[in-house]
């Protein structure tokens, strides 16, 4: 009997410790990077009513877990640098080691964001020279969910998979970092001399609606159509059609076996719920977004969808209008010609505050939708961030259409972001312009630089009304850029002066 009571006492203590253990979400782990210059939320779970204290580098905050056992504190802005030790104390203590404080960016999108350093240009050289312990990446496990998850999904072997753990950048880890995110972060690190944290949350072939919170589409009449029609969108491309057919068979098998119905990777909201929601409200500087290929057949719909996604992410994160940097789709040869309309839709998102776009119309590969030169994409993102986010007065964007004036058969085009002047890159002659009259038939146009303007004409169009530039999936020879130091610097963004209905206009 005495042994029984001793056994019961010991097990009650053990049960109490298990119930009372303070727990943190998976994104809080050794080697993490916390955002500088803003309040830092730390959150987790404990016993209802349990007192929880969080401390790092002389800063501390304390709170009580609510009736559901949830708690959250905000630390005042932390000192840049480290390493620090983050200590969370309740009935037990959790200690997180080697914590740095610097700049944290979320890197999200589809396959061009998912593309790893080891798959990009000059991979061997880049990997062998990677020794940057103050750059870290947290790659969120790819997970689908019908409801927003509170934590990242479990990983059986995080130490070998590279998922759901903060990894320090060196030659053994950088190979599976997001290439775009890494080269962006590397440029930031070399310039700012502060720690850089990259939260990598991407999935190849995915649509924007899969990354969009559910109530966004439920309350918007135009976007609500996505909830109804999303299965039909898988007919856009052959590979998507095949993937959806596999999914339909998996659903049938689940029904036959009495198992839960599986989720499709492009089902509305399932990636926001499974990948983004678990890391909110982790303090971040902003988001880098490289996505759109899978929405190109519905580009007009994307005009509303991308801004809605941006606004909703900002609202749920609770950090205000954090920067949202968009990579415009690169040039790639295929039919039909839908990429120009998607690039236009991406540009339209710039109507929102604290957004910027990176043009990559000169970096593509006619035979591959995954161009290898992610170094230059990262550098251009860095230039935009340096100017728009960190306040450096530098030229960060190529020429962008401003206005058109027509005199006779000649259209005079003016631009923003001219730098030290307009220049044709790698050629003496401007290329990539087309011109049309009211019949809407476009002809290849002559184009010359005249001071701060580009003059466009074709003698077969005596009464022009519209001009387009680089208006194709893979526009051949488009070469307008601005210049800095008498050299071409950044390419002009594709544009059109007309508003005639496009080929994706009627796609719901």
Report the alpha-carbon distance of residue 236 to residue 298 in Å, rounded: 9
SS (H, E, C) 8-54: HHHHHHHHHHHHHCCECCCCCCCCCEEECCCCEEEEEECCCCCEEEE
Report the alpha-carbon distance of residue 355 to residue 381 in Å, rounded: 12
**Which residue in the block uniquely carries the two structure tokens 């019908």?**
146
Q: Is 365 left (phi over 0), alpha (psi -120 to 50) or beta?
A: beta
Q: Which residues contact 219 (CB under 8 A, 6 or more apart)?
A: none
Tokens of 76: 């005042």
* Gyration radius of the chain's alpha carbons: 26
SS (H, E, C) 290-332: ECCHHHHHHHHHHHHHHHHHHHHHHHHHCCCCCCEEEECCCCC
SS3 115: coil
End-to-end Cα distance, the chain: 74
Tokens of 126: 């880049």
Q: Which residues contact 146 (CB under 8 A, 6 or more apart)?
A: 263, 269, 270, 273
Cis preceding linkage at 336, omega within 30 = yes
- pLDDT tens over the chain, length 508 residues: 444 344 434 344 333 334 458 999 999 999 999 999 999 999 999 999 999 999 999 999 999 999 999 999 999 999 999 999 999 999 999 999 999 999 999 999 999 999 999 999 999 999 999 999 999 999 999 999 999 999 999 998 877 788 999 999 999 999 999 999 999 999 999 999 999 999 999 999 999 999 999 999 998 988 999 999 999 999 999 999 999 999 999 999 999 999 999 999 999 999 999 999 999 999 999 999 999 999 999 999 999 999 999 999 999 999 999 999 999 999 999 999 999 999 999 999 999 999 999 999 999 999 999 999 999 999 999 999 999 999 999 999 999 999 999 999 999 999 999 999 999 998 789 999 999 999 999 999 999 999 999 999 999 999 999 999 999 999 999 999 999 998 999 999 999 999 999 999 987 6
Report the alpha-carbon distance of residue 442 to residue 179 in Å, rounded: 38
Where exactly are the structural domains of the chain? 400-492
Q: Which residues pair with 478 in a beta bridge?
A: none
Report the alpha-carbon distance of residue 180 to residue 202 in Å, rounded: 12
**Which residue in the block uniquely carries the two structure tokens 């969910």?**
145
DSSP letter for 463, please.
S
């Amino acid at each position: 009997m005495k042994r029984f009571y001793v056994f019961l006492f010991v097990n009650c203590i053990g049960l109490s410790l298990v119930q009372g253990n303070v727990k943190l979400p998976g994104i809080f782990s050794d080697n993490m990077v916390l955002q500088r210059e803003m309040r830092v939320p730390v959150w987790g779970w404990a016993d209802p009513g349990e007192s929880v204290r969080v401390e790092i580098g002389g800063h501390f905050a304390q709170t009580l877990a609510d009736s559901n056992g949830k708690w959250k504190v905000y630390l005042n802005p932390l000192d840049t640098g480290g390493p620090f030790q983050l200590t969370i104390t309740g009935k037990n203590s959790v200690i997180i080691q080697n914590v740095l404080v610097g700049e944290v960016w979320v890197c999200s999108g589809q396959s061009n964001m998912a593309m790893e350093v080891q798959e990009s240009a000059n991979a061997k050289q880049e990997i062998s020279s990677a020794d940057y312990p103050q750059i870290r990446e947290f790659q969120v496990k790819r997970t689908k969910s019908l409801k927003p998850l509170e934590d990242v999904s479990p990983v059986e072997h995080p130490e070998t998979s590279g998922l759901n753990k903060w990894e320090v950048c060196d030659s053994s880890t950088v190979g599976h970092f997001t290439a775009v995110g890494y080269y962006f972060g590397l440029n930031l690190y070399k310039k700012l001399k502060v720690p850089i944290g990259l939260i990598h949350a991407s999935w190849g072939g995915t649509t924007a609606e899969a990354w969009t919170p559910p109530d966004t589409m439920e309350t918007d009449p135009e976007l609500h159509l996505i909830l109804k029609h999303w299965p039909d969108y898988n007919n856009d491309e052959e590979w998507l059609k095949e993937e959806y057919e596999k999914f339909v068979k998996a659903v049938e098998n689940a029904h036959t076996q009495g198992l839960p119905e599986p989720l499709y990777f492009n089902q509305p909201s399932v990636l926001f719920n499974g990948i983004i929601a678990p890391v909110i409200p982790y303090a971040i500087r902003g988001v880098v977004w490289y996505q759109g290929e899978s929405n190109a057949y519905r580009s007009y719909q994307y005009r509303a969808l991308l801004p809605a996604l941006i606004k909703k992410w900002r609202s749920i994160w609770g950090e205000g209008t954090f920067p949202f940097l968009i990579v415009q789709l690169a040039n790639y040869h295929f039919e039909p010609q839908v990429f120009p309309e998607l690039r236009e839709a991406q540009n339209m998102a710039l109507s929102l505050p604290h957004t910027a776009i990176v043009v990559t119309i000169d970096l593509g590969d006619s035979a591959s939708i995954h161009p290898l030169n992610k170094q230059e994409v990262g550098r251009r993102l860095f230039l935009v961030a340096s100017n728009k986010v960190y306040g450096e007065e530098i030229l960060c964007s190529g020429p962008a259409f401003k206005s058109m004036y027509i005199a006779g058969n000649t259209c005079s085009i003016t631009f923003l972001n001219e730098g030290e002047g307009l220049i044709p890159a790698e050629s003496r002659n401007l290329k990539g312009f087309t011109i049309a009259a009211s019949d809407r038939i476009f002809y290849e146009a002559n184009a010359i630089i005249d001071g701060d303007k580009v003059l466009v004409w074709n003698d077969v169009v005596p009464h022009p009304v519209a001009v387009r530039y680089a208006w194709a999936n893979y526009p051949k020879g488009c070469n307008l850029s601005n210049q800095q130091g008498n050299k071409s610097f950044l390419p002009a963004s594709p544009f059109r002066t007309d508003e005639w209905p496009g080929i994706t206009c009627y796609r719901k």
